[in-house]
Amino acid sequence: MDQNSDNHHFPPISTLHALEARWVVPVIPQGEVLEHHSVVVEGSRILDILPVENARKQYPSAKPVVLDEHVLIPGLINLHTHAAMSLMRGLADDQPLMRWLQEHIWPAEKRFVSERFVRQGTLLGCAEMLAGGTTCFNDMYFFPQAVADAAVQAGMRANIGLVVMEFATGYAHDADDYLHKGLQARDSWRDNSLLSASLAPHAPYTVENRTFENIMTYAEQLGLNIHTHLHETHSEIEDSLKQYGMRPLQRLESLGVLGPNFVAAHGVHLTQAEMQSLADFGCHIAHCPASNLKLASGIAPVDALRKTGVNVAIGTDGAASNNRQDMFAEIRLAALLAKGMTGDAASTPAADVLSMATINAAKALGQENEIGSLELGKYADIVAVKLSSIEVQPCFDVISHLIYAAGREHVSHVWVAGELKYQKLEGQAGVYANIEPAELKEISTEWQTQLSQYLA
């Protein structure tokens, strides 16, 4: 489906419209809260941000969208997920990572993962993320063209990981085949403003040195990010020491992989020297607190990483290991864990966590000039959160409320590039612009039946 297709459920919006909000939290400057302000959107971008009364006088032709009980924030950016694994939600819970992968997830993927599985699973994941205020996700999975097709149907922004590993799957035969197919898929969507790509070596324990060297060559030639799992478990580090005589991060540094285009998911087990290396090379960490806890991998040293100068953003990981792609739950957990780990209630305050879920993630993707904050000229990726229900009253500090009190159930509107992609009115089910709930139900029912038979 073309990204410019007409919305199924919403009337076409005017070229110029003004979102009149009780509060606007632009993220840049950090901590700023604008009261009774309008975000004026022209086409796909933010034209102006100014007091409501001024906006009505200055832009009399702008169509108003009255949001007098809402806060407007930038669209949340999920910096690490495997969206298609929504179809494996709860498939093998309460298992440690390597057993979970080797005995459950990888065998299930070998049997079921196909282009159709990935497209449908990603669409299900996109629907969950959109309804929770996520407008952009950084993915890593097989069949990247299928991921692209689902993201475009949903109308979401996606950075699509071109996954690479050494062993054969239903998608590719070997590392060279993964690279060839991934880059071929990227060529097909290069002109779509919603889509971008990263090279995604799965992890140091599934990718050999020669392959990392090839990935580096392509990344440099094409200007692509590198997105991988790193230092997620103790066993990953121990195995690397046995096989290579060095820890995974040291190995990647020796291969020349580290740099400002490097995004590492998890980063749970890091020494101070390793954190300093990440900072020195300008690398980024996708912090996935719920997944790390559920798989008993540990708790990433977020406070220390940030104090060392590492750019830290937030991801959910896949729904098979979380089991939610819920950025509101993730940011709350990230804030609380940082305080509990440090014994400092002032650690990682609410405004910092909101930045981690927005502009920090945009920086990690190299898109901070386009998304991640509400600023003039940026894409109008905007989320409205309604703060009128009893469980979020009273409200003394709107940014604090976003982190500690509000949840994805309070998201009422989601715009991507100025187009309304999701809306939830009072007392009604949420409605998507380009996704039919009946289609999601059919997808879920079909794959649950197939996977249940496999588990039996």
Give residue-wise pLDDT tens across range 273-327: 999 999 999 999 999 999 999 999 999 999 999 999 999 999 999 999 999 999 9
Question: Mind listing the pLDDT tens digit for each residue in 97-151?
Answer: 888 889 988 899 999 999 999 999 999 999 999 999 999 999 999 999 999 999 9
CATH architecture of 16-74+373-424: Roll (2.30)
Sorting pLDDT into bands at 50, 70 and 90, what band is 13? low
Domain 76-364 class in CATH: alpha beta
The pTM for the full model equals 0.96
Question: CA-to-CA distance for 9 and 434, rounded, in angstroms?
Answer: 8
User: 450 CB contacts (<8 Å, ≥6 apart)?
Assistant: 112
Average pLDDT value for residue range 165-190: 96
Enumerate helices (H) and strands (E) in the chain, giving the number of each.
17, 16
Tokens of 231: 């230092």
Query: What SS3 state is found at 96?
Result: coil
pLDDT at 342 over 60: yes
pLDDT at 95 over 90: no
Question: Mind listing the pLDDT tens digit for each residue in 425-437?
Answer: 888 889 999 999 9
Nearest Cα to 38, choosing from 49, 22, 47, 23? 49
Question: CA-to-CA distance for 243 and 365, rounded, in angstroms?
Answer: 31
So what's the pLDDT on residue 3? 37
Tokens of 290: 């719920």
φ, ψ dihedrals at 86, nearest 5°:
-55, -30
CB 402 within 8 Å of CB 385: yes
Sorting pLDDT into bands at 50, 70 and 90, what band is 8? low
pLDDT at 386 over 60: yes
So what's the pLDDT on residue 226? 98
pLDDT at 181 over 80: yes
- Pairing outcome for strands 157-164 and 45-51: unpaired
Sorting pLDDT into bands at 50, 70 and 90, what band is 15? confident
Domain ranges in the chain? 16-74+373-424, 76-364
Average pLDDT value for residue range 236-248: 98
Question: Mind listing the pLDDT tens digit for each residue in 210-225?
Answer: 999 999 999 999 999 9
**Cis before 29? omega within 30:** yes
More confident residue, 96 or 264: 264
Question: CA-to-CA distance for 53 and 64, rounded, in angstroms?
Answer: 12
Question: CA-to-CA distance for 241 and 204, rounded, in angstroms?
Answer: 12
So what's the pLDDT on residue 92? 87
Question: CA-to-CA distance for 27 and 31, rounded, in angstroms?
Answer: 6
| Percentage of residues in the chain having pLDDT higher than 90 | 91
Mean pLDDT of the chain: 95
More confident residue, 289 or 456: 289
CB 49 within 8 Å of CB 374: yes
pLDDT at 191 over 90: yes
First to last CA, the chain: 36
pLDDT at 6 over 60: no
Average pLDDT value for residue range 32-49: 98
